[in-house]
Chains A and B, each alone.
Chain A
Amino acid sequence: MSLIHLSFYSAFTLSSLGLAFHRTHLISALLCLESIILSIYIGLSLWPVQNQATSFTLLPVLILAFSACEAGTGLAILVASTRTHGSDHLHNLNLLQC
């Protein structure tokens, strides 16, 4: 069972590193955010299988609903930044310098 633990821990770590080190496009950050949520979803789906507690099977669906809303918001922000800044390049987000 610890191989499965390792798989979604490493998926989470890789996605969060990808989110931290995104370089030019905003959309790569959104993709890494989605893969973080996906790894959490898989980990949570395995939990009632492991513990034989069937009352917790609804939990991943709830999380999926909220994270889908959040992904939609992220895409809307991407579209808005393309409308105002011209592209989703992160170098262009420098209007608010100290």
Chain B
Amino acid sequence: FILMLSLALGTMITITSNHWVTAWAGLEINTLAIIPLISKSHHPRAIEAATKYFLTQATASALMLFSSMTNAWSSGQWDITQLTNPPSCLLLTAAIAIKLGLTPFHFWFPEVLQGSSLITALLLSTAMKFPPTTILLLTSHSLNPTLLSTMAIMSIALGGWMGLNQTQTRKILAFSSISHLGWMTIIITYNPKLTLLTFYLYSLMTTSIFLSMNSTNTLKLSTLMTSWTKAPMLNTTLMLTLLSLAGLPPLTGFLPKWLIIQELTKQEMTTTATIISMLSLLGLFFYLRLTYCSTITLPPNSSNKMKQWSIKKPVNTLTPTL
């Protein structure tokens, strides 16, 4: 499937680049490859999601190119790790925030995830976040830490708050993605390895959740309530994975949060650590609601549609045990 190959190619080009134009070219290849994937179904919602995605990502790419150009004019070189011009640092931070979906540039993300199919949403929230994260890692020593921390705290707050009233599972996962991005960004100027760790664990957990939801085809909370009839083992492991995404202690998702809080207290930022821990309680509420709906209750409304007995492909029950 040639679009997946283009995605892999674009990601590889951006990761292995030390010149700004190769990074930009990889990001463009990724954007161009995923637009047909989003709009494959020709549904009006999918086309609308593709429009919003295209406009935001194209402006972010152009901003990134412009910031690298001003940096080249002022310092004479195109190396990614040597970003010396302060206005271009600011523009680059804004461009990467738009590409990742950090607050205050997060408005496109829930709607785009809602309009795309579950597998495409998985690709959008894990694979498409990887190249901008690598650029952020490469340039993190020259970006403004106050700005990054502010955006991160706002992302965690907004991801928690706006996820509370949602019933569509893709939007819930979008807001969880936004808050996890906030957790990744807050530690990037102090210990970039923790950002990478958080990203890997987050993408692993999100992959398993999306694949589980794809097997049972749950797009809404009401569908989630009746998914225990289709694959009971998958349902229990889905509950564990959701709680891991929330960050509860014996599960894997707690590890990045613990290490980030430890690193923040080492850097004398204890108020920040307290604030983000409190704000992730908001996220915990909707994760708990998801687990409640999926596993803990057996409601009497399991007689909705008979088509719920159909499973799209053989269920891989091992995916959530990652």
Contacts and interface: CB of A to CB of B under 8 A. Distances in A.
Size category of the B interface is: 35 or more
A96 B114 contact: yes
Interface string A31-58: 0010011001001100100010000000
Contact of B171 (A77, A93, A98): A98
B21 A74 contact: no
B58 A33 contact: yes
B181 interface: no
B2 interface: no
A77 B76 contact: no
Interface of B: 21, 24-25, 28, 31-32, 35, 39, 42-45, 47-52, 54-55, 58-59, 61-63, 65-66, 69-70, 72-73, 76, 110-111, 114-115, 162, 165-166, 171
Interface residues of A, number: 34
22 contacts: A19-B55, A33-B55, A33-B58, A33-B62, A40-B62, A40-B66, A47-B72, A51-B76, A66-B24, A69-B32, A70-B61, A73-B31, A73-B32, A73-B35, A77-B54, A80-B39, A83-B47, A84-B42, A84-B48, A96-B49, A98-B162, A98-B165
A45 B137 CA distance: 29
Given A19-B59, A93-B48, 13 more contacts: A16-B59, A33-B58, A40-B66, A43-B69, A47-B72, A63-B65, A77-B35, A77-B39, A77-B54, A95-B48, A96-B49, A98-B110, A98-B166
